[in-house]
Amino acid sequence: MRFQFIEQHGQKLGVSFLCRLLMISRRGYCRWRVVRHTLSQRRQAQQERDDVVGDALADSKKRDGARRIQPELAEQGRSHDIKNYRQQYEAAGFNSQSSEEVQGDD
């Protein structure tokens, strides 16, 4: 939050002054500006997995749960723990649906 404040007010008050005032190293602030929009390798892998699971869920018309999707994705070389798939479902707000619930979606 302090870095965002410096970014917003640095033009008027000066970045060096604000860094001293907020007890932040100027180098730390500059590093934050460089890396703030880059994703870590772990986050990139998680985002890729989320996309794949989301596609698999859409292909199944939201009928298949994590237990059915896990073996399908394992055949594609994507083996993850069932907990990872469940967490992705919950984070995206998906619940597997019965075919009766989906019939109107065709």
- Please report the pLDDT score of residue 20 as a whole number: 94
Of 8-12, 34-38, 66-70, 74-78, highest mean pLDDT: 8-12
Position 102 confidence tier, pLDDT thresholds 50, 70, 90: very low
Position 5 confidence tier, pLDDT thresholds 50, 70, 90: very high
Q: Distance between CA atoms of 102 and 106, rounded to whole angstroms?
A: 7
C-beta separation of 36 from 4 below 8 A: no
Task: For 74-90, write each residue's pLDDT tens digit.
Answer: 777 776 666 666 666 67
Task: For 21-65, write each residue's pLDDT tens digit.
Answer: 999 999 999 999 888 878 788 888 888 877 777 777 777 666 666
Q: Distance between CA atoms of 59 and 55, rounded to whole angstroms?
A: 6
Q: Distance between CA atoms of 100 and 87, rounded to whole angstroms?
A: 25
3-state secondary structure of 52: helix
Position 99 confidence tier, pLDDT thresholds 50, 70, 90: very low
